[in-house]
């Protein structure tokens, strides 16, 4: 049964940005979803705290601390955190989405791994934790569920949800936060967490990779806690005979019950791991372990949670080495620890597992490729499909598009799929992605002849040929109809590379001289211009002008200009001239009076008697102080005999 159908968050958009597509995993404190950042159009993982815990300020604070802490760790083996926020009862982290599987998935499918594969996974994990330790943080919940193995073989550490500053290490009472199977003795005894608790957990994970089983098994969490406190992690070779002693020693160093005997941090353990690898032969590194019984269940011991510490366990851990006699056990726990036996062998599995074993034996450098049976999808045949059709088919098959490449092709039409990686028919992981290759058409194309074609048709023809319609300019033409193409650059018939821009010159039609309609009544001016094929608009506001009210004061295209039929000419209508006060110029000489009146906005006429020897203004046609139309003529007269 697909439980994601019942999940209320699937299909919802959180915080107006993150669309939840499907549920990936559920833990004791949070659920992880595959989502899409609708703002940046990218796939990511959304970790949402269980609503029941969102009301607990301590848990919310821990969630926010994870976002801030991991954001400071720019490391290729750490799952990046992009954003943190809340939406109603939901507190979330937006994180890098790693397409692949977890180390837990691999162990359940394969059981024990080869030494080379185990070290290939351990080393990038230690590199990531080493960066965190040197930055001042402790993970506190290292386990196979938090080791992600991408489809490309990259190994990343996830879920820094219990991260704590090294400088804030404290002793707690009553409970411990973590996963039972990977807790260090000092975490159980007194709640102490420093870099060495991550070292201990990595030692347990290494043991599990080498043997296919956890070192401490029990029917209850109390039994497992008791064994962490009072029993050493056994050498892996006790369960898988033939494992090199160097790997036994590496596990022993990492899982020493006395934290003082462990490497101080993950970087130090990484150095020991590389030293151990260096002395192993290829035969020892590639030795195929017997098919141990892979884990088939997910127990409460694999989940992160708040675990009550037994009262008897809340005491300092005795600092003893593996060679010393362990202290006497405390009072019996609620149930005796279960007897641990070597994992039972099981019959060989299908040919698929043989193939997986061969892939694991190859190692592929520092990244290991793992394939989970039952999670494969056949890539559909996309050849000849449009890009939209290809994307639709891949989505229907549960696959994504990793990228789109474009290449020349003589065989496939432009815009259709000419290849894909992986190719059609190849089986890949069910949540994988495919790169599609789109044809750009032939490497050289001829510019189509589009003279006389309407602009939109010409542009479509250029696009179909694999060229890019370029800049459009206009010119008058006596031959080509208005709106159709006069010429192109490059010219029709010339050959160019695909996507070359082709500019077009479009006809404005035959040129039409624009007449002057200034001073005409507005209706008469409009009729005259429309008769010549122009469109006429009237400006919404009238202006003062020397011409009479209701006549044209101005036209947007001047008289004598060449324009095209269909061009728009805007007319501005006069509301008559302004009325201006007339200054008093009587008694002034003629020249001074003329300048005064012209400066006031009037024209001037001088009236001299036939016989006059005076140059002084004796009178003016409009009395001083009265208003006269701007631009009207004022007559001034001199005195005669």
Q: What is the dihedral of CA 188, 191, 194, 198, to 10 degrees?
A: 30
- Taking each helix axis as running N to C, give the angle between helix 245-254 and helix 266-278, from 0 to 180 degrees, rounded to the nearest 10: 170
Residues 6+ positions from 258 with CB-CB distance below 8 Å? 317, 318, 319, 320, 321
Let me know: does 191 contact 170? Beta carbons within 8 Å: yes
Angle among Cα 284, 289, 290 to the nearest 5 degrees reads 145
Backbone φ and ψ of 258, nearest 5°: -85, 115
Catalytic residue among 21, 37, 87, 141: 141
Q: How far apart are CA 437 and CA 415, in angstroms?
A: 10
Let me know: does 199 contact 265? Beta carbons within 8 Å: yes
Tokens of 377: 């999808």
Q: How far apart are CA 47 and CA 53, in angstroms?
A: 13
Other CB atoms within a 10 A radius of the CB of residue 594 amount to 20
DSSP secondary structure letter of residue 95: E
Q: How far apart are the first and last CA of the chain?
A: 125
Q: How far apart are CA 44 and CA 393, in angstroms?
A: 22
Q: What are 178's strand-pairing partners? A: 305
Q: How far apart are CA 307 and CA 181, in angstroms?
A: 12
Distances (CA, A) of 605 to 112, 198, 476, 635, 637: 117, 107, 48, 5, 9
Q: How far apart are CA 222 and CA 335, in angstroms?
A: 7
Other CB atoms within a 10 A radius of the CB of residue 412 amount to 19
Is 618 in the active site?
no
Q: What is the 3-state secondary structure (H, E, C) of 527-584?
A: HHHHHCCCEEEECCCCECCCCCCCEEEEECCCCCCEEECCCEEEEEEECCCCEEECCC
Tokens of 21: 């597509």
Q: Are strands 568-573 and 535-538 parallel, antiparallel or unpaired?
A: parallel
Tokens of 624: 């001083």
Residues 6+ positions from 176 with CB-CB distance below 8 Å? 183, 187, 188, 191, 306, 307, 309
Backbone φ and ψ of 437, nearest 5°: -110, 120
Please list the active-site residues: 141
């Amino acid at each position: 049964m697909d439980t994601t159908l019942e999940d209320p968050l699937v299909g919802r958009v959180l915080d107006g940005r993150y669309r939840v597509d499907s549920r990936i995993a559920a833990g004791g404190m949070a659920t992880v979803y595959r989502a899409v950042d609708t703002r940046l159009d990218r796939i990511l993982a959304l970790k949402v705290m269980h609503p029941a815990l969102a009301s607990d300020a301590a848990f919310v604070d821990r969630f926010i601390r994870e976002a801030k802490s991991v954001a400071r760790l720019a490391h290729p083996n750490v799952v990046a955190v992009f954003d943190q926020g809340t939406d109603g009862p939901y507190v979330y982290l937006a994180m890098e989405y790693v397409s692949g599987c977890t180390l837990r998935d691999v162990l359940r499918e394969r059981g024990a791994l080869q030494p080379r594969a185990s070290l290939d996974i351990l080393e990038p994990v230690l590199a990531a934790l080493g960066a965190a330790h040197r930055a001042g943080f402790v993970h506190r919940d290292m386990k196979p569920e938090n080791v992600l193995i991408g489809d490309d073989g990259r190994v990343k550490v996830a879920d820094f949800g219990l991260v704590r500053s090294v400088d804030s290490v404290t002793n707690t009472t009553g409970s411990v936060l973590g996963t039972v199977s990977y807790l260090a003795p000092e975490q159980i005894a007194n709640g102490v967490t420093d870099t060495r608790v991550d070292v201990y957990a990595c030692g347990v994970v290494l043991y599990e990779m080498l043997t296919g089983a956890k070192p401490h098994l029990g029917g209850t969490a109390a039994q497992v806690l008791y064994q962490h406190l009072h029993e050493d992690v056994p050498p892996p070779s006790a369960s898988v005979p033939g494992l090199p002693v160097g790997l036994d020693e590496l596990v022993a160093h990492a899982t020493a019950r006395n934290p003082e005997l462990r490497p101080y941090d993950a970087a130090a353990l990484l150095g020991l791991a590389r030293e151990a690898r260096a002395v192993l032969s290829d035969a020892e590194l590639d030795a195929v372990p017997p098919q141990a019984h892979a884990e088939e269940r997910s127990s409460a011991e694999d989940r992160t949670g708040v675990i009550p510490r037994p009262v008897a366990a809340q005491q300092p851990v005795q600092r003893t080495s593996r060679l010393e006699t362990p202290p006497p056990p405390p009072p019996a726990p609620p149930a005796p620890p279960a007897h641990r036996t070597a994992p039972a062998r099981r019959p060989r599995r299908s040919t698929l597992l043989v193939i997986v074993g061969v892939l694991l034996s190859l190692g592929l450098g520092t990244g290991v490729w793992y394939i989970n049976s039952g999670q494969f999808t056949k890539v559909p045949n996309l050849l000849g499909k449009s890009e939209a059709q290809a994307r639709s088919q891949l989505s229907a098959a549960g696959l994504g598009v990793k990228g789109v490449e474009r290449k020349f092709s003589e065989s496939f039409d432009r815009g259709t799929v000419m290849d894909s990686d992986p190719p059609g028919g190849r089986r890949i992981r069910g949540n994988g992605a495919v790169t599609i290759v789109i044809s750009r058409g032939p490497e050289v194309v001829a510019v189509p002849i589009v003279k006389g074609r309407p602009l939109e048709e010409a542009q479509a023809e250029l696009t179909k040929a694999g060229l890019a319609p370029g800049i459009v300019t206009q010119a008058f033409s006596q031959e080509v109809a208005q709106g159709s193409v006069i010429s192109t650059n490059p010219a029709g018939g010339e050959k160019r590379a695909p996507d070359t821009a082709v500019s077009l010159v479009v006809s404005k039609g035959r040129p039409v001289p624009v007449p002057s309609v200034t001073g005409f009544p507005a209706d008469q001016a409009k009729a005259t211009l429309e008769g010549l094929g122009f469109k006429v608009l009237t400006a919404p506001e009238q202006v003062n002008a020397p011409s009479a009210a209701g006549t044209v004061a101005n036209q947007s295209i001047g008289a004598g200009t060449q324009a095209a039929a269909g061009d728009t000419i805007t007319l501005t209508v006069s509301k008559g001239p302004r009325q201006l006060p007339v200054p008093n110029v009587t008694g002034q000489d003629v020249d001074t009076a003329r300048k005064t009146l012209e400066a006031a906005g009037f024209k001037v006429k001088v009236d001299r008697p036939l016989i006059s020897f005076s140059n002084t203004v004796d009178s003016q046609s409009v009395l001083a102080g009265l208003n006269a139309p701007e631009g009207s003529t004022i007559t001034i007269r001199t005195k005669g005999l």
